[in-house]
Amino acid sequence: MQLILFAAIRTIFNTAYRMAYPFLGVFARALGVDIETISLALTARSIGGGLIPFITPLTNRRGHKFGMLFGLGLFTISMGVVVFFPTFPALAISMFFATLAKYIFDPAMQAHLGETTPYEQRGRIIATTELGWSLAFILGIPVTGFLISYFGWMSPFPLLMGLGALTFILIFFQIPNDGTRVLAPASVWTNFRQIFSYAPAIAGLSVGLWATVANEIVSLVFGVWLEDSFGLQIAALGASAAVIGFSELGGEGLVALFYDKLGKEHAVGFGLVANSIAALLLPILGQSTIGALLGLFLFYITFEFTLVSVVPMMTEVMPTARATLMSFNVAALSLGRAIGAPLGTFLYRFGFPLVAAGAVVFNLIALFALFKMERGK
């Protein structure tokens, strides 16, 4: 029961997070701003993810259940801000704090599962909760598209607010209290210093950062590109997001099949090269709606393979400070999205082929960082 609840909560969080991508143009038009302006709100929300290495130790002192409840409460309030104040500043504030809530909830949930499940089952159990990322595009975004097309741009927010409040109540009653934890501040800062004085750790963080920039500059404008090129309506944009969701499921499956055979660093390198090829194919395939959707499928399946491969690779870069390094990995991915958001809309001014070329450039930088990490170990 807990596992189903956690997967459902992560689907709700990720639906709120990811709906900005296919409906970026819809939100911009409804609020009377251009896509460059609204992309700044996405940049701000990603910067919030960089605060997580400093916030997580504070919430953990009160226990993992407190961290989950705090994240859900903050998420519910964030959705309510747009419900009661349907303006662009309110949307920007909502995006920032909803993202912060997601990054507070996730590690608290993962830590809870780590403490309450046997080691031999832990990978499968945590992987099940990760389905919330792809299910957001397979289920959440099509539902969001339906609501927006029939009831207006603001209609998903009351539903998400209600679901946030409902799951807060369920977590309160379903999860037992786990007490208060005392963490030594000195040990946290010691781990921070260890990470930033170890070159392979910095290079490893750079791999995820630059790969995420490459992904974000495409993700931010693909909905606008499909609208501009083929005149897709809101419901069709929601359906196109489902295609991406299924590609991400495929990427996760490919990692399960081939990751151990390829090896950690080789798998990441393979993913970066494959994603670069997919990016180059996007403008070529994007001469028709079917071709564009096929190109997006290839782009996202290769990126998901890369990103899922990065996580286990990073767990072994610095075992003495594993938890701290993984929290900084989350921050690095958030920073990558913060960099990619305004860059994507800027490059799109000059045409989608330049967006695709930009993705290749940042993937090559990530490949160089991977090479430096391997050489430094």
- pLDDT tens for each residue of 256-275: 677 667 777 888 999 999 99
Mean per-residue pLDDT over the chain, rounded: 87
Residue 90 has pLDDT above 90, yes or no: yes
Same domain flag for 196 and 148: no
Q: What is the mean pLDDT of residues 325-347?
A: 88
Residue 166 and residue 268 in one domain: no
Cα-Cα-Cα-Cα dihedral sign, residues 86, 87, 93, 94: positive
CATH number of the CATH domain containing 161: 1.20.1250.20
Q: Are 243 and 152 in the same domain?
A: no
Q: Taking 90 as the threshold, does the pLDDT of residue 116 lie above it?
A: no
* Residue bearing the bigger pLDDT, 134 or 9: 9
**Residue 361: predicted pLDDT:** 97
The whole domain housing 214 covers 184-377
- The domain boundary, picked from 158, 183, 208, lies at 183
Please, which pLDDT band fits residue 60 given cuts at 50, 70 and 90?
Answer: low
pLDDT for 230 equals 84
pLDDT at 2 over 80: yes
- Residue 285's pLDDT band, with cuts at 50, 70 and 90, is very high
Give yes or no: residues 144 and 249 share one domain: no
Please report, to the nearest 10 degrees, the dihedral formed by the alpha carbons of residues 205, 377, 268, 334 taken in order: 0
- Same domain for 323 and 234, yes or no, is yes
pLDDT-based confidence at residue 186 (cuts at 50, 70, 90): low
- 87 pLDDT higher than 80: yes
Q: Where among 183, 210, 231 does a domain terminate?
A: 183
Work out the percent of the chain whose per-residue pLDDT is above 70.
Answer: 91
Mean pLDDT of 208-215: 96
pLDDT at 122 over 70: no
Predicted pLDDT of residue 64: 81
- Regarding predicted confidence, which is higher, 233 or 225? 225
Q: Mean pLDDT, to the nearest integer, of 177-196?
A: 66
SS3 track for 294-324: HHHHHHHHHHHHHHHHHHHHHHCCCHHHHHH
Average pLDDT over residues 212-218: 95
Instruction: Look at residues 166, 183, 200 and tell me which one is the last residue of a structural domain.
Output: 183
More confident residue, 109 or 181: 109
- Give percent of the chain above pLDDT 90: 47
Q: Which phi and psi (to 5°) does residue 87 adopt?
A: -130, 165
Residue 153: pLDDT band with limits 50, 70, 90: very high
pTM of the model: 0.79
- Give the Å distances, CA to CA, from 360 to 166, 226, 281: 42, 20, 11
- One domain for residues 196 and 61: no
